[in-house]
Amino acid sequence: MNFLKQERTTLKEFFPDLDEKLAHIPLLEMEKPQNPAIQIFRELGGPRLLIPTKYAGLGATPIEAVRVQRAIASRAPSLAIATTMHHFSVATIVEMIAQGSGTGLEWMLLEGIAKQNLYVASGFAEGKTGSGILTPHMQVKRTEEGSVTVSGSKKPCSLATSMDLLTASVSIPNKSGDGSELAVIIIPASTPGIERRPFWTNSVLAGAQSDEVILHDVKVPEQLISYTGNSGNLDYVQTRGFLWFELLISASYLGIASALVERTIAASKSITHCERALLGIETEGAMAALEGVAQSMVVSDNNQGNDQLARVLFVRYAVQGAIERVTSRAVELLGGMAFISSSEVAYMFAATRALAFHPPSRLSISPALDKYLAGEALLMQ
């Protein structure tokens, strides 16, 4: 089959055995909280994917990364979503080094992640509908020795069970006491005061381990804090981080939708060829748009950040729309017997819907995108 051939070829180049191993695990087995795919991915060196080779990583380019995510999601939806959170955190650290904006110790962190195959969770959301991810409500206090203490809850936080490191967004009071600054902390998951609690009660995407992580007066030294600007005016590193996130999460959900399309091709029922070809037109058009953004990311240009962010968001919502159309048609083409005889079709159909819930939601960012089209800078909330 030519469908997904490019993506699975790229996946094989990085992880020769992964696709075969995933293909042998029943889909619904991998989608349970005990998801065996997360451990398999770790054993095959998956956490190294986006780390540059000079820090012992695999040095995947943005285009290779979107292909890998689509291929993985077509077999293991929860693994793709969970690893998107990991790769997004790692990519942001790589961007910090490229911009020289971190503490200067980030390369050691990347080498540690690559050599020990560590998972990095990404705690931005706090489980409060209506409150944007760029307005964290964790309680942060400055201590006399120059560190900070952080208390509060991050939920959902994918990889909550398997994480070795936690990145979390916080708002840190200025030393002068007259305001605060957005920052990301990067701390070992074994730091005293970190607790995990069950949070994700839906069986759909339960294999991503998106539970609650609670911080009880967790002490964070200044060297583990990266300041990222303010929510209205994100700095370049944070902007690049968002680009990576939107790209990888879109490719992942496109991969889940592609698994449904693949089944319609394999089933080859006596339906018109045009209907099946239409699914290919939609999915390959969406993938080409993602690859276009990925290609443009290879050149890092401080003056282009805001335009690139707008572009990736337009593409993400276009992909979201294509997924909605493709999956409802694919389910129809597969037919009632496929729907009735196993929960897998309904599972994948439901799982693809969750792209709409990842920040920023289309409805929340649409006014800002509208103003951007008319000439204003794009402001994230």
Ligand X SMILES: Cc1cc2nc3c(=O)[nH]c(=O)nc-3n(C[C@H](O)[C@H](O)[C@H](O)COP(=O)(O)OP(=O)(O)OC[C@H]3O[C@@H](n4cnc5c(N)ncnc54)[C@H](O)[C@@H]3O)c2cc1C
**Which span sits near ligand X by CB under 6 A: 2-10, 49-57, 125-133, 145-153?**
125-133
Minimum CB distance to ligand X, residue 102 (Å): 21
Binding ligand X (rule: CB under 6 A), the pick from 4, 63, 81, 257 is: 81
CA 147 – CA 166 distance, rounded (Å): 17
Considering the rule CB under 6 A, would residue 361 count as an interface residue with ligand X? yes
Considering the rule CB under 6 A, would residue 274 count as an interface residue with ligand X? no
Minimum CB distance to ligand X, residue 177 (Å): 28
Number of H helices, E strands in the chain: 13, 10
Considering the rule CB under 6 A, would residue 357 count as an interface residue with ligand X? yes
Q: 130 or 336, CB closer to ligand X?
A: 130
Minimum CB distance to ligand X, residue 183 (Å): 15
**Which span sits near ligand X by CB under 6 A: 20-28, 51-59, 117-125, 372-380?**
117-125
CA 99 – CA 298 distance, rounded (Å): 14
Given the structure tokens 């729309």, which residue do they identify?
321
**Which span sits near ligand X by CB under 6 A: 23-31, 42-50, 104-112, 358-366?**
358-366
> How many Cβ atoms sit within 10 Å of the Cβ of residue 348?
24
Three-class secondary structure of residue 88 per DSSP: helix
Distances (CA, A) of 66 to 57, 69, 258: 17, 5, 13
> Is residue 236 within 8 Å of residue 290, measured between CB atoms?
no
Considering the rule CB under 6 A, would residue 130 count as an interface residue with ligand X? yes
Minimum CB distance to ligand X, residue 354 (Å): 4
By CB under 6 A, the residues from 325 to 354 that bind ligand X are 354
Structure tokens at 215: 């911080």
What phi-psi label fits residue 146: left (phi over 0), alpha (psi between -120 and 50 degrees) or beta? left
Binding ligand X (rule: CB under 6 A), the pick from 143, 190, 342, 364 is: 364
By CB under 6 A, the residues from 195 to 214 that bind ligand X are 205, 208, 210
Considering the rule CB under 6 A, would residue 158 count as an interface residue with ligand X? yes
Considering the rule CB under 6 A, would residue 363 count as an interface residue with ligand X? yes
Which residues contact residue 68 at a Cβ distance below 8 angstroms, ignoring those fewer than 6 apart?
Answer: 7, 10, 11, 14, 49, 60
CA 28 – CA 286 distance, rounded (Å): 26
Considering the rule CB under 6 A, would residue 83 count as an interface residue with ligand X? no
Binding site for ligand X (CB under 6 A): 81, 85, 122-125, 129-130, 133, 156-158, 205, 208, 210, 354, 357-359, 361, 363-364
